[in-house]
Amino acid sequence: MKTYQVDKNGYYGEFGGAYVPEILHQCVEDLRNTYLEVLESDGFKEEFDRLSRDYVGRPSPLYLARRLSEKYGCKIYLKREDLNHTGAHKINNTIGQILLARRMGKTRIIAETGAGQHGVATATVCALMNMECIVYMGKTDVERQHANVQKMEMLGATVVPVTSGNMTLKDATNEAIRDWCCHPSDTYYIIGSTVGPHPYPDMVARLQSVISEEIKRQLLEKEGRDHPDYLIACVGGGSNAAGTIYHFVDDERVKIVLAEAGGKGIHSGMSAATIQLGKVGIIHGARTLVMQNEDGQIEEPYSVSAGLDYPGIGPIHANLSARRRARVLAIDDDEALEAAFELTRLEGIIPALESAHALGALAKISFEPGEVVVLTVSGRGDKDMNTYINHRLS
């Protein structure tokens, strides 16, 4: 059967794989030999399900947004990941990975973070599990995302400002990989999205697949059928989208729309539309689409939304786009900002700026009346209030 899931070598078509330095080969190999067995064990599932329910607050509601539906002439359901503990989908992944780290006998957790959302989700589960936590963060990001730095520190994590390169996410990731190389035996690296060397993209997709598992069940209950006509999600590295589509990706009845960050326009030189602008290359251990210049140097991405400005993209999504399984739309800053205000005024829900990119895709699709659309609201907008208020005043 034709499948869009990972193959046994860790590839999605021509994308994926594990391109890591010699010193990490064993670590990645251990992970690869362990993750499926652990994730599929009864003990892991029981603990993951219990924490998802009692700590995160799952299942997250599937909410029929009536006024938004009326506006776009179809039936729009919102998958409310914004209601999770810590305010986004990222906690699904960090809970799963810390349970795996404990089962592998690791005692020290490291992570990279850009906007600080993954850092907070990691520091949260480290507090919960009483594990040492070191978070690498570009110095520029430390300065502009101060509230998240304070949260991580209150949670007991050590935040290490990284001063190499542009001092942003890419540099923080390089530093985390360097740390992992120095402490391969006791350290577990919690990656925050469907990126990095195999098995990370598949592992993160599986942990986030709780989203589509719930969508299936909830749609059956509300609509009498277990699949929508459309799934829509935003993509930074691709984890909330991967979780949203996981159980539907091989079902061709379901159309998949991915919203990436157009920034100030994809031809403006200030964009994070990696799928449309990227060329095949290697970034953080995976072969995928990368924003790079002629010399193969990574170009700094830009988006008004800090969670979407990653210069790569998960190999899952690179493949879905290359094989035309997913339609990829670039949503500009202004379109996302307008979509955030629209959802707020129509439904009383202030979305994260990242999620607002998924909402911005609605205006670019022509729906048939009665079509069922599920759109994932990956997070809540509290962290973006300054941007929203400045936009309204400008």
Ligand X SMILES: *Cc1c(COP(=O)(O)O)cnc(C)c1O
The verdict on 256 binding ligand X (CB under 6 A) reads: no
- Paired residues of 162 in beta bridges: 138
Establish whether the linkage from the previous residue to 59 is cis, with ω within 30° of 0.
yes
d(CA 227, CA 273): 28
Segment near ligand X (CB under 6 A); pick from 69-77, 230-238, 284-292, 367-375: 230-238
d(CA 228, CA 29): 37
Residue positions annotated with a catalytic role = 90, 112, 378
Please pick, from the candidates 234, 249, 286, 340, the single residue that binds ligand X as defined by CB under 6 A: 234
Q: Which residue is nearest to ligand X (CB)?
A: 379
Nearest alpha-carbon partner for 54 in 95, 10, 104: 95
Question: How far, in whole angstroms, is CA 98 from its chain's centroid?
Answer: 17
State the minimum distance, in angstroms, from the CB of residue 182 to ligand X.
Answer: 26
Q: Which helix (H) or strand (E) segment is 351 a member of?
A: none
The verdict on 274 binding ligand X (CB under 6 A) reads: no
How many residues form the binding site for ligand X (CB under 6 A)? 18
Please pick, from the candidates 16, 119, 196, 237, the single residue that binds ligand X as defined by CB under 6 A: 237
State the minimum distance, in angstroms, from the CB of residue 383 to ligand X.
Answer: 8
Residues of span 328-357 touching ligand X by CB under 6 A: 352, 354-355
Segment near ligand X (CB under 6 A); pick from 143-151, 235-243, 328-336, 362-370: 235-243
d(CA 248, CA 170): 31
Please pick, from the candidates 168, 218, 239, 288, the single residue that binds ligand X as defined by CB under 6 A: 239
In the Cβ-directed half-sphere of 268, how many Cα atoms lie within 13 Å?
A: 16
Nearer to ligand X, 212 or 239 (CB): 239
Angle between helices 315-322 and 200-208 (to 10 degrees): 90
The verdict on 238 binding ligand X (CB under 6 A) reads: yes
d(CA 148, CA 126): 15
State the minimum distance, in angstroms, from the CB of residue 88 to ligand X.
Answer: 4
Q: Which two tokens stand for residue 12?
A: 């999605």
DSSP secondary structure letters along 47-68: HHHHHIIIII-PSPPEEE-HHH
The verdict on 312 binding ligand X (CB under 6 A) reads: no
Question: What one-letter code names the amino acid at 333?
Answer: D
Residues of span 28-87 touching ligand X by CB under 6 A: none
Integer Rg of the chain from CA: 19
Binding mask 109-138 for ligand X (x = CB under 6 A): --------x---------------------
The verdict on 283 binding ligand X (CB under 6 A) reads: no
Residues of span 354-383 touching ligand X by CB under 6 A: 354-355, 378-379
Per CB under 6 A, residues contacting ligand X are 88, 90, 117, 193, 234-240, 307-308, 352, 354-355, 378-379
